């Protein structure tokens, strides 16, 4: 697999710092599962975290070490990490959210053959969804109120900017209004995280949108 579109340094650093909403963390974890290039960059930002932690120190409470030594007394050591499953389409972090493989996704129609499944993330500021766009069909024309990350999991789409295939990530912000179209052939499945709400221009008159909170 050749991935052409990658995560930015800003996003990788914020992910290393655990400073992003859950929905973005999920897309980043899914991309890193597919992309060695970004995984290596991500590990470099972890190393920067290591350097930051080395940089400042303070006093521990009296008896702190003794308390910790008492605590590890007889504490069993973990032998191996519990293996996590992935399927041909969904990387492991996504399987945890879907509660199983692709067959467990609860799709809902959003119009024009496009289906979506909102994933249960905890933050109010951003949301994550799986999108299913039939081959040859267009995503409803939309803009965003903030950052949007779209990761292709199956098939490919094109928009005004470029072509995106499995593993590719599109980073769009409020200034981008685009109409991704799935390539003919295989249906396209994407994971998208959006800050604020998505504005589907074709579905509702612009004026009504704030009231419907799509």
Partner 1 sequence: LAADAEQTDWSALVFRVRDHQDRTAFAALFRHFAPRVKAFLMKSGASEALAEECAQDVMATLWQKAKLFDAERASVATWVFTIARNRRIDALRKSRRPEPEDLPWGPEPEPDQAEVFEAQQETERLGAALSQLPLKQRALIERAYFGDLSHSEIAAETGLPLGTIKSRIRLALDRLRQQMDVKATER
Using CB under 5 A, list all residues that contact Zn ion. Answer: 6, 35, 37-38, 148, 172
Nearer to partner 1, 86 or 203 (CB): 86
What CA–CA distance (Å, rounded) separates 7 from 181? 21
- Pick what 160 binds: Zn ion, partner 1, none; C-beta below 5 to 8 Å, kind-dependent: none
In the bound complex, what is the minimum distance in angstroms from residue 24's beta carbon to partner 1?
8
In the bound complex, what is the minimum distance in angstroms from residue 37's beta carbon to Zn ion?
5
What CA–CA distance (Å, rounded) separates 11 from 23? 13
- Pick what 25 binds: partner 1, Zn ion, none; C-beta below 5 to 8 Å, kind-dependent: partner 1
Answer yes or no: are the C-beta atoms of 214 and 199 closer than 8 Å: yes
Restricting to residues 33-92, name those near partner 1 by CB under 8 A.
33, 36-37, 39-61, 64-65, 67-69, 71-72, 75-81, 83-84, 86, 91-92
Which are the contacts of 39, defined by CB distance < 8 A and separation ≥ 6?
32
Stretch binding partner 1 (CB under 8 A), from 11-19, 98-106, 107-115, 159-167: 11-19
What CA–CA distance (Å, rounded) separates 161 from 35? 21
In the bound complex, what is the minimum distance in angstroms from residue 162's beta carbon to partner 1?
21
Restricting to residues 122-161, name those near partner 1 by CB under 8 A.
122-123
Nearer to partner 1, 35 or 138 (CB): 35
Binding of partner 1 at residue 169 (CB under 8 A)? no
The three-class DSSP label of residue 112 is coil
Nearer to partner 1, 33 or 194 (CB): 33
Which residue, chain included where needed, has tokens 């974890």? Answer: 29
What CA–CA distance (Å, rounded) separates 195 from 2? 28
Buried b (16+ CB within 10 A) or exposed e, 91-110: bebbbebbeeebeebeeeeb
């Amino acid at each position: 697999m050749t991935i052409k579109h990658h995560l930015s340094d800003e996003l990788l650093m914020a992910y290393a710092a655990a400073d992003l909403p859950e929905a973005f963390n999920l897309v980043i974890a899914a991309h890193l599962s597919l992309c060695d290039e970004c995984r290596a960059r991500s590990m470099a930002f972890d190393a920067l975290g290591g350097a930051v932690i080395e940089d400042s120190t303070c006093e521990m409470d009296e008896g702190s070490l003794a308390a910790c030594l008492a605590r590890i007394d007889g504490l069993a050591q973990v032998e191996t990490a519990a293996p996590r499953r992935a399927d041909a389409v969904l990387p492991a972090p996504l399987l945890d959210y879907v509660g199983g493989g692709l067959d467990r996704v609860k799709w809902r129609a959003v119009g024009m053959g496009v289906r979506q499944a909102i994933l249960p993330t905890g933050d109010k500021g951003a949301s994550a969804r799986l999108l299913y766009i039939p081959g040859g069909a267009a995503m409803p024309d939309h803009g965003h109120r903030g950052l949007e990350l779209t990761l292709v999991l199956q098939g490919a789409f094109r928009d005004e900017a470029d072509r995106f295939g499995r593993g590719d990530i599109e980073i769009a912000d409020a200034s981008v209004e685009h109409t991704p179209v799935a390539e003919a052939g295989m249906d396209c499945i994407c994971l998208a995280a959006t800050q604020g709400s998505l504005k589907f221009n074709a579905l509702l008159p612009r004026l009504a949108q704030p009231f419907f909170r799509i």
